[in-house]
Structure 1
Amino acid sequence: MKKIVLGLFLILVCSAQAQQRPKLVIGIVVDQMKAEYLDRFYDDYSSNGFKRLMANGFSFYNMNYNYVPTYTAPGHASIYTGATPATHGIIGNDWYVRETGKNKYCTDDASVKTLVAGSEKEGMMSPKNLQATTVTDEFRMATNFRGKVIGLSIKDRGAILPAGHFANWAFWYSKSGNFISSSFYGDKLPDWVAQFNAEKRYLEYIQKGWDLLKPAADYTESLADDNPYEGRIDKSKPPVFPYDLNAIYKEAGADIIRTTPYGNDLLADFAMRTIEKENLGKNLDPDFLTVSFSSTDYIGHTFGPRSMEIQDTYLRLDLTIARFLDYLDKTIGKDNYLLFLTADHAAAENPIFLKDHKYEVTNIPSKETVKGIEAFSLATYGVNLLLNYSNFNLYLDRALVQSKNLDFDKVKQSFKTYLMNLSYVKRVYTQEDVLNSSGGDYLLSYIFKGYDPKQNGDLVVLHKTGFMEYNETGTTHGTPNSYDTNVPLLFYGWNIPKGVSYQKEYITSIAPTLSKLLKITFPNGTEAQVLEEVLKK
């Protein structure tokens, strides 16, 4: 009898401890989502998607990135580590490595293999290049590795980096149309993933084609359907609705779904299947699912932030989120899950569009920048001292400088002077400038937080506001300007009070705030600034 009573007592204690945490945590990242999309498209959203999160959760409308470059991989790493690239080491989507003379992709790992035949190179990925723990890592350790962590995305980096080093699984989309993973996570793809892949659900979406969700007259927040600032997904036709995805599929294959809103739908389908088959949120210990919607980024890059395509994508994503929330309510329980939604970066206005409206900016082809630097080097020193220009970083050939008996500091200063004379350059900083930063230079502080002296270049360039190093159509991101750094942050669900904040906050506060909500250790690289508003239930 005593043993029975003791057993019941232990069950009650464990249950009480479990109630201190939600059954399931869901982290949603919307790739390239500008904060203003919540407001610009508000009137056309449904009541059950973004509006539900905003009305019934806590909304931070002045959330910002505090480093450069504002790219996808550093963004996801920073959200989940609570640190910046200077600490977590993911200094770009890819970056130049002096020792090899080649670029390294953020999640490349030659020691692992893909678990899906036909996707060999796409599957050789892991989080080994991430130099700090994530909140998901700390969550795994806090539950003594009983709580599951699974990362999902169309992009490999959007799945792998949020899930961290100790994840049970990370799955990402292959150009073959399959969700794949690597041997870092297991020896064999789970049967339920193989079954999902066998269903070829991407074909159902492609067969629908892509037309406007609403009447064209409702898209008053966007430019005309056919405008000169858009790129194309069908090279033979202008970028106008409707899009015959079947025809494009015959040329591009399953990869085309990335640059349609249906990439988000397919990922949501996969997320719900993951919850079901992995029994997430059904155990004594909580689980953590990270979901990164990537199609918004592909579409933004191609069509730009003022296109009807991007507006239609967000109206459809709103419905996808509503569908996902309904699913969570039914399977996990309305008050049993904690969800947050943010973005890995925002995006610039197309500079040709701005120029056509009498703002004297333009796009800067990176190849032209490289040609100019090389020509300067040849004219000044008789040799090309530039090894690489990428991610706004110049890597100089230190060995060649030494062999020519040149003073390296003077060489750097000469390149700095050349770059500062370019009409579109705002600032140029040497490695010494960055490492000796006192914090007084607002722009330099962003570089300092994104700079790893073992991986970054000898000089870092910042362009003037409004200029963009990209094509004439579409858009990109990467700068410290507000159009690239200002993103949404919405907390919703378990123990989250209703409220709104317009106080300037930084993206690195998300992970430590989650740590406090979940009563776990901070990620090891974070500065541990928390968002107190969501902790005051």
Structure 2
Amino acid sequence: MKKLLLLIVFILVSNLQAQQRPKLVVGVVVDQMRMEYLYRFKNDFSENGFKRIMNKGYVFHNAHFNYMPTYTGPGHASVYTGATPSVHGIVGNEWFSRTTGKERYCTDDESVQTLGDGTKAEGEMSPKNLLSTTITDELRMGTNFKGKVIGMSIKDRGAILPAGHFANWAFWYSKTGAFISSTFYGEKLPDWVTEFNYQKNYLNYINQGWNLYKPAATYNESDADDSPYEGKLYGVDKPVFPYDLKKMYEKNDAGVLRVTPFGNNLLADFAMKAIEKEELGKDENTDFLAISFSSTDYVGHVLGPRSMELQDTYLRLDQTMADLLAYLDKNVGKGNYLLFLTADHACAENANFLKNNKLNVKNIEYKEISKAIKKFSTDTYNEDFVTNYSNFNLYLNKTKIKEKGLEYSKVEQSFKDFLMTQEQVKKVYDEEEITHSCGNDYYLDMIANGYDAKEDGNLVILDKPGYIQYGPTGTSHGTPYAYDTHAPLLFFGWNIPAGESHEKKYITQIAPTLAQKLGITFPNGSECEVLEEVFVTKKAK
């Protein structure tokens, strides 16, 4: 009888502990999303998507990334590890590695193979380059590996890095139109994924084409169609609606879906199927679904932040979010899931747009920068000492410099002096300055947070605000300026109070906040700073 009573008490305590966690955590990262989009497009959103999250959840209006470079790989890694690239090691999407002397992609792994209908290169991916644990890793360990973790995205890095090292699965989109994975996660795709791929759902979106979601008058927050700041999708004559996606597909492949809002729609369809088939949120062990919507980034890069296409993408994503929330309400239950929404970075205004509105900036072609640096080297030393220039990092060949009998510090200083003569350059920092950053220079601290001495360059360039290392149309990101760092940060659902804050916060606070909410270990690279505002226990309705 005593043993039976102890067993009953144990079960009751276990159930009580389980109830102190949500059944499902849903992490939503919207690639290249500015916080400003939630303001600019607000009047055109429905009541059940972004507005529902903002009105019923907690909104951090002034959340930022705290490092440079602000790219997709580092952004996803930082959201989920609570650390900066200097700790978690993902210092770019791809970068020239000082350690290996070769280009490195953030999720490359030649030791694994493609699972599913994708190319060899598309599937040789894993999280092995990520040096610290994620909140998803800690949840897996915190539930004794009973809670499921699944990551998914159109981009491989948007799925793999959030899912972490211990994920059950990560899935990403192939140019074949299928969601694929790698043997890092298993020997074959789950049957439901194979079935989803067999249905070729992407064709439904391609065949319908892309026209305006709402009446044209709705888009008065954007430039007119066929703006001079827009690039062209897949060789169209003009960047104007409607877009014949079927024609684009016939001349290319299913990758065309990425650069339309429908990449987000297809991913949401896949996410809801994952919730159903993997039975996420159905037992006492908390599960985690990490979703990264990538089409916003593709559209933004090509067409820019002021394009009608970009606005249309967000109006459609608003409805997608409404559908996802309704699905979660029905299948997991209101109050049973915790959702957060953020971005991996924001983006700059198109430099020509700014220039034509009388701000003295311009775009600088990346290849021209690299060419100018190499020319300086050969003109000055009759030798090309430049190993690589990328991601604002300049790598110098110390071996060549030594062989020439030159003093490295003087050569390095000459490159710094040359770079400071360039119109776009505000400052140039060397490795010693970066690694000995002491808090007196805001932008130096941002660079130091994104710098790994084993991987990054000998010099790091800080451009002036508004200048962009990109082409004349569309936009990009990567700098430590507010237009690249200011991202949305919203919490909604289980044990989240309704409210808002305008105090400056950091994206690296998301993971430790979740750790405290769930009662699990902090990710091991995190500085453990939490967002105290979401610890009020009143639930959102």
Normalized against structure 1, the TM-score is what?
0.99
Q: Which sections of structure 1, spanning at least 5 residues, go unmatched?
A: none
Structure 1 vs Structure 2 CA RMSD = 1.0
Partner residue, 2:232: 232
Question: Within 5 A, what are the aligned runs for 1:27-426?
Answer: 27-426=27-426
**Amino-acid identity (%):** 62
Please state how far the C-alpha of 1:12 moved relative to its aligned partner. Answer: 2.1
The code of the aligned residue for 2:464 comes to: K
Deviations along 1:193-232, one digit per CA (max 9) or x if unpaired, are 0000000000001111100011111111000001110011
Q: Would you say the 8 A contact 2:362–2:467 is kept in 1?
A: yes
TM-score (structure 2 length as normaliser): 0.98
Indicate the SS of the match to 1:205. Answer: helix
Letter in 2 for 1:80: Y
Deviation at 1:116, TM superposition (A): 1.7
Deviation at 1:100, TM superposition (A): 4.0
> Relative to structure 2, which stretch is displaced further, 92-101 or 488-497?
92-101
Q: Whole-Å Cα distance in 2 between the matches of residues 46 and 117 of structure 1?
A: 37
How many Å separate the matches in 2 of 1:23 and 1:522? Answer: 19
- Bigger mean CA offset, 270-279 vs 92-101: 92-101
Quote the Cα distance in structure 1 between the aligned partners of 2:7 and 2:69.
54
Alignment partner, residue 23 of structure 1 = 23
Shift, 1:8, TM fit: 3.9
Deviations 1:480-505 (A, max 9, x none): 11000000000000000110000000
Structure 1 residue matching 2:267: 3-state secondary structure: helix
Partner of 1:536: 536
- Deviation string, structure 1 residues 506-526 (Cα, Å, up to 9, x no partner): 111000000000000100011
1:188 partner SS: coil
Structure 1 counterpart SS, 2:252: helix
AA matched with 1:212: L
Q: In the alignment, residue 325 of structure 2 is paired with which amino acid?
A: L
Residues of 1 paired with 2:15 and 2:9: CA distance?
10
Most deviating of 20-29 and 113-122? 113-122
Between the aligned partners of 1:197 and 1:35, the Cα distance in structure 2 is 34
Instruction: Measure the CA separation in 2 of the matches of 1:7 and 1:461.
Output: 63
Q: 1:97: Cα distance to partner?
A: 1.9
Q: How many residues align?
A: 537
- How far residue 117 of structure 1 moved from its aligned partner, in angstroms, is 4.4
Distance in 1 (CA, whole Å) between partners of 2:7 and 2:98 is 60
Contact conserved, 2:71 with 2:93, CA < 8 A, in 1? yes
5+ residue gaps in structure 2? Answer: none
Deviation (angstroms), 1:2: 6.0
Q: Is the partner of 1:491 in helix, strand or coil?
A: strand
Determine if contact 2:117/2:180 at 8 Å carries over to the other structure.
no
Deviation at 1:535, TM superposition (A): 1.1
Q: Which residue identity does 1:473 align to in structure 2?
A: T
Output one character per residue of 1:237-264: Cα deviation in whole Å (capped at 9) or x when no partner: 2000010111111112100000000000
**Structure 1 Cα separation of the partners of residues 66 and 286 of structure 2:** 31
What is the CA–CA distance in structure 1 between the aligned matches of 2:423 and 2:297, rounded to whole Å? 29
Output the amino acid matched with 1:515: A
Q: How far off is 1:11 after superposition? A: 2.8
1:285-331 deviations in Å (ceiling 9; x for gaps):
11011000000000000100000000000000000000000000000
- Correspondence for 1:492: 492
SS at match of 1:476: coil
Distance in 2 separating the partners of 1:88 and 1:2? 50
Distance 1:317 1:423 in 2: 39
- Distance in 1 (CA, whole Å) between partners of 2:303 and 2:327 is 31
- SS state at 1:332 partner: helix
Aligned partners of 1:340, 1:35: CA distance in 2, in Å?
Answer: 14
**Amino acid aligned to 1:113:** Q
Distance 1:472 1:162 in 2: 32
**Cα drift, residue 455 of structure 1:** 0.6
Contact kept, 8 Å, 2:154 with 2:263, in 1: the verdict is yes
* AA aligned opposite 1:287: D
Distance across 1 between alignment mates of 2:48 and 2:449: 38
Shift of 1:118: 4.2
Distance in 2 (CA, whole Å) between partners of 1:307 and 1:116 is: 35
Task: Give the residue type in structure 2 aligned to 1:72.
Answer: T
**In the aligned structure 1, how far is the partner of 2:533 from the partner of 2:336?**
20
Q: Is the 8 A contact 2:117 2:176 kept in 1?
A: no
Query: For residues 509 and 39 of structure 1, what CA distance do their matches in structure 2 show?
Result: 23
What SS does the corresponding residue of 2:114 show, helix, strand or coil? coil
Give the letter for the 2:512 counterpart: P
- Shift in Å, 1:536: 2.3
Aligned amino acid, residue 252 of structure 1: N
Tell me how far apart the structure 2 counterparts of residues 17 and 227 of structure 1 sit (CA, whole Å).
56
Instruction: Write the distance in 1 (CA, Å) between the matches of 2:436 and 2:80.
Output: 28
Aligned-residue offset at 1:6: 4.7
Q: What letter corresponds to residue 20 of structure 1 in structure 2?
A: Q
Letter in structure 2 aligned against 1:76: H
CA distance in 1 between partners of 2:101 and 2:536 (Å): 51
Superimposed CA distance per residue, residues 424-480 of structure 1 (whole angstroms, 9 cap, x where no aligned partner): 100100001111211101110100100011111000001100000001000000001
Where 1:370 maps in the other structure, the secondary structure is helix
CA positional deviation for 1:49: 0.1
Q: Which amino acid aligns with 1:438?
A: C
Counterparts of 1:434 and 1:358 in 2: how far apart (Å)? 34
SS of alignment partner, residue 181 of structure 1: strand
Find the counterpart in structure 2 of residue 511 from structure 1.
Answer: 511
CA distance in 1: counterparts of 2:308 and 2:8, whole angstroms: 59
Question: What's the secondary structure of 2:333's corresponding residue?
Answer: coil
Mapped partners of 2:286, 2:2: distance in 1: 30
CA distance in 2, matches of 1:358, 1:494: 48
- SS of 1:288 mapped into structure 2: strand
Asked whether the 8 Å contact 2:118–2:175 carries over to 1, the reply is: no
Quote the Cα distance in structure 2 between the aligned partners of 1:487 and 1:236: 32
* Deviation by residue 1:52-111 (Cα, 9 ceiling, x = unmatched): 000000000000011000000000000000000000000000110235432100000010
Secondary structure in 2 matching 1:237? coil
- Distance (Å, rounded) in 1 between the aligned partners of 2:142 and 2:385: 50
Query: 2:402, 2:408 within 8 Å by CA — same for their partners in 1?
Result: yes
Structure 1 residue identity aligned to 2:273: R
